[in-house]
Structure 1
C-alpha cells in the first residue's frame, strides 16, 4: 500500500514511522491543518492508496480560549481530507477521542452512544467526525483515549520525571479510562486501512483503548512500581485539580466491534513496561 500520513512528530505518527517507514509523512511544514484546502490538495497530488490522519489540535485547555482555530484543525481539515479520499475512492482512517462524550455514569460508551462533548476540544473533534462520515467514502473513525508512549509529552513521561524528583504526588482518581499505547494505535490504523481497501463495508466508528480500565492515580502507581521509584501516589478528586476544560469522569469505551478487523484492546501495563524500556528507565 501507498500510505499518506498527516502528522510527523506526534506520538502516533512517530510509531507509524517505525511500522511503515515507506509511508509519506506530512508535518506542519508540508501540510498545515489550519489550511484544509491544502490538506485536500496534498492527497490529490500524492494519490495514495490510503490516508491516515494522525494530526490534530490536542491542546485541550487551550481550545477553550481558541475554539475557532481548533475547529479548523479538528473539524474542517479532517472533513476536507475525507472528501478528497472519497473522490479518489480510497480509505481514510481518522483518530478521534473519548471527549466527544459527556463522561456520565460508569458504563463503557459504545460507538453508537449519543455524543455530548463537555468542552471546546470535544466539540471540534465531533465536528471532524461528522464531516468524515458525511464525505461518504470508505472510512474508519477510531476513538481512543489517554495516549502514551516514549515520545512527545504524555502522562507516563510526566509521572516518570516527577516521580524521580519527589517523594509523593497527588493524582486524580475519579476519572476512569483506558490508557492506550501509541504503538497499538498505529498498528490498528495500518490494519484498518489495509482491510478497508478491500472491504469498504467495514467503514464506521470504532473504539480503541487499553485494558484494564483504571484511574489516573492507578496509572501513576503502576508507572512508579515498574520504574522502581519510591514515590507515594495519593488519590484526589478532580475538584482539587481544576483545569480550564472539564475532563470526562467516565472515559471507559466499549471496544468489542473492533473484532471485525481482528483487533482487541491492548494491555497498557505491558505497553508501559516497553515504554519505560525505550526511555531507559528500566532494563
Structure 2
C-alpha cells in the first residue's frame, strides 16, 4: 500500500516518512504547492492527479495550514478538490483534525459522538473541513489529535526552549489541561491505522488520539526545563517559572476520550513524557552545532 502524504516540510511530514520507512511502507510526499489551484474548476474533472499506485492519502495540511499559508476559504476549496479527486479515484483519505472542534465547557473527555461546538475560528474551520469530508468521501478517517510537538519547526517545545534562553521569568497557565502529542507518536498511530486498512479493515469514520496524562502549561514547562537543565550551563540568574490562572492562554485544548481507537484498531495511548528527553536533547544538540558552525 503506497501512501500519499500531503504535508508541510517539517514535523508531521518528517515523522510520517520516518515511520513509514521503518515499517517498509512505500510513500510519496507533496506539499502546499500540490493543492494550490487558480482559476475556475471543473468539478467533474478535478485538476489534482493522484498516481495509480497510491492506495491512501494522508492529509496533514488540514491541521497545519490553520494559522498561515492558506486563507480559510482557500483551504476549504483545496480540501474540496482533494475530496473530489479521492472519491472519483476510489482512494480513501485520512485527514488530521484536533479537539478544538469542542468547547470543553462541560469538562471530562469528549467522545467522537459528542456534539461539535467550536468557540474559535480554528475550531469552526476544522468543523467545516470535517463536514466537507464526510459529505464528499465515503471511505475516510478523521483523526482528531492534541497539540503536536517535536524537534522540528515552531511548536510547544521549541517555543519554550527559545523563551528559556531569552527570559528571566515566565508566567504560565496552571488552571487548564491539554494532552500534548509528539509527532512521532502521531505518526505511529497513523501508520498503525494504515496497516489495518491495508488488511481489509473497513472501520471508516472519526477517531481520537492524544497522548495520555493531561497536563497544564506550567507543569509541561517544568518538565521541559528540568530536562534542558541537564544539557545546558546554568545561567547566572536562574529562570523563574510563575504559575498563573489566566483565560488568555492558548494552551487549553478540550480533552478527548481515545477508547474508540483502542477498541477498533487496538492502538494504545503513550505518555508524552516519554518523548521529552530525546526531543529536548535533539534540539539543544542542533543549536550547539549551529552555534559552533557560526564561529570563525
Distance 1:234 1:281, change over 3 A: farther
CA RMSD of aligned residues (A): 2.9
Measure the CA separation in 1 of the matches of 2:38 and 2:179. Answer: 30
Distance 1:172 1:35, change over 3 A: farther
Deviation at 1:207? 0.7
Unaligned runs of 5+ in 1: 242-246
- Contact kept, 8 Å, 2:35 with 2:78, in 1: the verdict is no
Deviation at 1:28? 2.1
- Contact kept, 8 Å, 1:71 with 1:124, in 2: the verdict is no
Deviation sequence 1:15-68 (CA, Å, 0-9, x none): 112223541111123333889969x643434551110001136466679xx9xx
Distance 1:237 1:60, change over 3 A: farther
Deviation sequence 1:183-226 (CA, Å, 0-9, x none): 11112112212322333531111111112001111111110111
Unaligned runs of 5+ in 2: 287-296
Deviation sequence 1:150-189 (CA, Å, 0-9, x none): 0010111111121133332111223311000011111211
The aligned residue for residue 265 of structure 2 is 261
1:206 is paired with a residue of what secondary structure?
strand
Query: Which of 29, 43, 57 is 1:25 aligned to?
Result: 29
1:16 aligns with 2:53: no
Measure the CA separation in 1 of the matches of 2:179 and 2:104. Answer: 13
The aligned residue for residue 90 of structure 1 is 91
The aligned residue for residue 244 of structure 1 is none
TM value normalised by structure 2:
0.81
Measure the CA separation in 2 of the matches of 1:11 and 1:17. Answer: 10
- Contact kept, 8 Å, 1:105 with 1:250, in 2: the verdict is no
2:58 is paired with a residue of what secondary structure?
strand
Deviation sequence 1:230-283 (CA, Å, 0-9, x none): 433212233355xxxxx584521111111121212221011111211222359x
Distance 1:248 1:277, change over 3 A: closer
